[in-house]
Structure 1
Amino acid sequence: MANHKSSIKRIRQAEKRRLHNRYYGKTMRNAVRKLRSTVDKSEAAAMYPSVTKMIDKLAKTNIIHKNKANNLKSKLAIFINKLA
């Protein structure tokens, strides 16, 4: 266990941030899964802006890498365009 007040606080903060990041990362992954499971093109196109916004916010706060965010958005756009 840590001995210094500052290191105890650092552990507390790190745990709080870890849980926060895990929650939003999981929420984003679930939204992406939901969009990918959609078979209707208009419904998927309607969901795309909100999922994109979520991905961009996570990239901005360094929860996910900016290149991963761009790859996800690109793959989703390709998926939507391929729907009949």
Structure 2
Amino acid sequence: MASHKSAAKKSKQDISRRDRNRSGRSRLRTELKKIRALIAEGSSEAKDKLPAIYSLIDVSAKKGFIHDNAAARLKSRLTQAAN
């Protein structure tokens, strides 16, 4: 347990940030799995959903759930797979 008031506050902040980051990353991974499944099926729905997943990837990078270069790489690979 933290022995200073500021350390206790920092611990609480770390826990809430970890939970927020974990849920954001989890949501991103779930959506990536769904779009990859659509691409594997050869569904025409996949190209329609690409802009939404791009937006989610960009937001995830902006909020720090993933690195900026990782976001660019994901978008590039999804585009190649869809085409």
Instruction: Tell me if TM exceeds 0.5.
Output: yes
Q: Please state whether the residue corresponding to 1:37 is helix, strand or coil.
A: helix
Q: What stretches of structure 1 of length at least 5 have no aligned partner?
A: none
Matched positions, count: 81
Q: CA deviation at 1:42?
A: 2.2
Partner of 2:11: 11
Question: Over aligned residue pairs, what C-alpha RMSD do you find?
Answer: 0.9
1:41–1:80 contact (8 Å) kept in structure 2: no
Partner of 1:44: 46
Q: What stretches of structure 2 of length at least 5 have no aligned partner?
A: none
Partner of 1:22: 22
Q: TM-score, normalised by structure 2?
A: 0.92
The percent of aligned pairs where both chains have the same amino acid is: 38
Question: Does residue 1:58 correspond to 2:51, yes or no?
Answer: no
Runs of 4+ in 1 over 2 A off after TM superposition: none
